[in-house]
Amino acid sequence: MTTDRTPAPRLTLGPLLFHWPAERRRDFYFRIADEAPVDTVYLGEVICSKRAPFSEPLLPELIERLQGAGKTVVLSSLAEVMLRRERAMTAALADSELEVEVNDASALRKLAGRPHRIGALFNTYNEETMRHLASRGAMHFALPSELPRSAVRLLAETARELGAGVEVQVFGRASLALSARCYHARAHARTKDNCQFVCEHDSDGMELRTIEGEPWLAVNGIQTMSHAYLCMLDELPELAAMGVTDLRLSPHSLDMVKVAQLFRDTADGRMAAEAAHEQLMALNAIPALANGFWHGRPGFTYSKASEA
């Protein structure tokens, strides 16, 4: 339970990393606006610029609906910028009146001196990186999901010294790597330029299995992700005590309103982590849970607070 000295962190909904049809995307965010107890919602294509034409026309409507519901809206940049159209997309974010989350260093030049956020795919691993980015206008840092608690503690202390926010992912598949090639397309004998948007068929990523047939990873276009869903319900009091200001939920195709309510109630002390965990798994949509990185163990492992 939080106290006056350790206020409950805000709850955020990270950018949608998967390629969902436009109608489904719109309905999802409308429900988030109307029902989900989240404070901040990140919008924008992060993984593949080819997907952007499907989602960008929706942005004005989504922004209006979310802001009308009292949510803060942040635009997220691409995590990989190589082509001219990708450079143009990134540069255009600097002209927005909304806050911008940077996921690739190419956006920094346009945003230098303007308050902005640093995304979890930027790899802010140490205090000096955080200080340098803050000197150029960064005022909020979403940390990489593979950091252990010792590193998060140091970075949270540094962020507090800088007067910056610090955000940690507490739910959803963890991003592990990005590639210049699209494995999703290659797995279906297609090229990246002629992928025919095959990633649309895997709303939470394409499952990968070992030779023995065990589920291991997930692929989302150029992104490699964990098979298990990161779950930090047990660690919420520790995160708050460290000074983490924001808790990130990564969107998936299960009932994200329910997920958000469980994390909000647990963070506020209205529900025990164990009870929230039971209700989360009762959704029957999560293949496995993981929190190993936090505990300095293999990332795919999971342990409850009493076992850690």
Rounded Cα–Cα distance for residues 308 and 301 (Å): 11
pLDDT in tens, 178-228: 998 888 888 888 888 888 888 889 999 999 999 999 999 999 999 999 999
What is the average per-residue pLDDT within 293-307? Answer: 85
- The answer to whether the CB of 133 falls within 8 A of the CB of 162 is no
DSSP state letter for 6: S
Grade residue 6 by pLDDT with cuts at 50, 70 and 90: low
- Residue boundaries of the structural domains of the chain: 10-173+224-290
Neighbours of 277 (CB within 10 A): 18
pLDDT in tens, 68-109: 999 999 999 999 998 888 898 888 888 888 999 999 998 898
CATH class of 10-173+224-290: alpha beta
169-194 as b/e, with b when 16 or more CB fall inside 10 Å? Answer: bbbbbbbeebeeebbbbeeeeeebee
Q: State the pLDDT at residue 217.
A: 95
Of the two residues 188 and 307, the one the predictor is more confident about is 188
What is the average per-residue pLDDT within 42-50? Answer: 93
Task: Please give the model's pTM, rounded to 2 decimal places.
Answer: 0.94
Q: State the pLDDT at residue 293.
A: 95
